[in-house]
Amino acid sequence: MNCKKRLILVFKRGIMKILILGLGLNGGGASAARYFAGKADVRISDISPRETFGPLADEMEALGINCHFSDKDPKENIKWADIVIKNPAIPNTLPQLSLAKNIQNDFSYLFSSPLIKDIKLILVTGTKGKSTTVSAITHALNRLGNSAIYCGNIGVSAFEILKDLENRQIDKKPLPNYIVAEMSSWQIHDTNIALNGVWPNTELTILTSLYRDHQNRYHSLTEYYDDKLTLINDKCKHILINIRTKLYVDKHTHGLKRKIKLFPTLFNPYAGNKIELMCAFNALKLLGFKKDEIIKALSSYKGIPHRIEQIAIKNDIMFINDSAATISEAVTFSTSTLYPLSYHLICGGTDKDIKALGMLPALKSATSILLLDGSFTTDKLIPLLNKYQLPYYGPYNNLRDAFEKAVDNAEEKKGFNNQMQVVILSPGAASFGMFKNEFDRGDSFRRLVGEYVSRA
């Protein structure tokens, strides 16, 4: 039975009983709760204690939602629910999930809605480069006279988009021309199960890159990659992939009828400058826009928080927040954009079963290296640095000490060669332990930069 039929049956039985399994701190659980509040009997189950959520817990309870915090065994709540809305961070191997009558997520609801019938969908996945590609395409489409909105792993739940579409319909306002969605491998996996493998038609599907990641969650790298490739199917009008992924994609997408396009193309104007926009440029070309108008539209794109985000410049020191770089290859990519400036790299953190070797070019080119403490740092990064005899500072058990040492090094180097220096937070690792998530880590870095800039 497909997703639409299952949801209709639940509606027919009367008031729905909805369980939000995993409130989380990134907004997805809260968006789901807000969407269903007043429409259904809603409960929240989360393993974390109430104090973790602060004012968010107050808001949920004010909406009349029955919140079960510190819920280490959600069995009874799962059995109670007609529908479980599962946070993608919760693994499908959780034994209690076998008790669920129906498991859905925000994308399964959005993709099952008749409101998207005439909206062009652009789905973007990949190990790195997803968020920048999604936000850049959305920005350019709006600049080019098309109404476009984004959602997904970029920080906007599909439930928020669905609510917006419903409100537009009620107010008799036009729907957007495009929805641009960033989908993580976990979201793709959960959505594919919820939709029984029946995906909506898409105008464009994009694979930005494939690197080793999330091996603390997947049994193999192939399993992780294959979740990504689920999006590449014959429901796609256009398919665009990174040229470096071509061999793997060709091998693992047998029988695909659609022609796959590659980026960057030979004459991509961003190939040697602003390389983070290469994918967006070729995507917009595939959608039928002209080169000059694309370049003009992208010229006003300012980037997004936590991804090669220039925060400030003071005393000839540039501060860049790249906290969303959670794999080693992302650090090398981000620092490659800084040439020929000298940079002082704050990196390291918690391991998620990935290799440090992909960070080696960035480490070799760094003027100084400041390490944040964590399992990735101690087990993989420090041995790599020692192997190649690269000096480092730390590991530090807090960001402030690492930041202050990086600034000291930058000021000393600037005094020596009178050239601009860069202090960049690009960890190449997960944030858990020292921070709530990578966004909390980036916000902490931003606050430290603010303190430095405000000094007399």
CATH of the domain at 30: 3.40.50.720
Which of 70, 104, 138 finishes a domain?
A: 104
Q: Are residues 276 and 323 in the same domain?
A: no
pLDDT tens per residue, range 243-271: 999 999 999 987 888 899 999 998 899 98
When divided into structural domains, the chain yields a total of 3
What are the residues facing 151 on neighbouring strands? 181
Q: Are residues 265 and 122 in the same domain?
A: yes
pLDDT tens per residue, range 192-236: 999 999 999 999 999 999 988 888 788 899 999 999 999 999 999
Which of 76, 104, 132 finishes a domain?
A: 104
- Strand pairing category for 236-242 and 66-68: unpaired
Which of 298, 328, 359 finishes a domain?
A: 298
pLDDT at res. 9: 46
**Cβ partners under 8 Å of residue 274, min gap 6:** 337
Structural domain includes residue 2:
no
Whose CA is closest to 142, among 289, 291, 307, 273?
289
Does the predicted TM-score (pTM) go above 0.85?
A: no
**188-218 CB burial, b ≥16 within 10 A, e <16:** bbbbbbbbeeebbebbbbbbbbbbbbbbebb
Structural domain range at position 425: 309-454
d(CA 371, CA 379): 13
Question: Which CATH number belongs to the domain containing residue 442 in this structure?
Answer: 3.90.190.20
pLDDT at res. 455: 87
Question: Which CATH number belongs to the domain containing residue 226 in this structure?
Answer: 3.40.1190.10
Structural domain includes residue 10:
no
Q: Are residues 215 and 330 in the same domain?
A: no
Q: Are residues 89 and 113 in the same domain?
A: no
Whose CA is closest to 325, among 126, 88, 155, 128?
128
Q: Are residues 93 and 174 in the same domain?
A: no
Angle (deg, nearest 10), helices 278-286 and 291-298:
140
Could you count the other beta carbons within 10 Å of the beta carbon of residue 9? 12
Q: Which residues of the chain have pLDDT under 70?
A: 1-14, 456
**Counts of helices then strands in the chain (DSSP H, E):** 18, 17
pLDDT at res. 112: 97
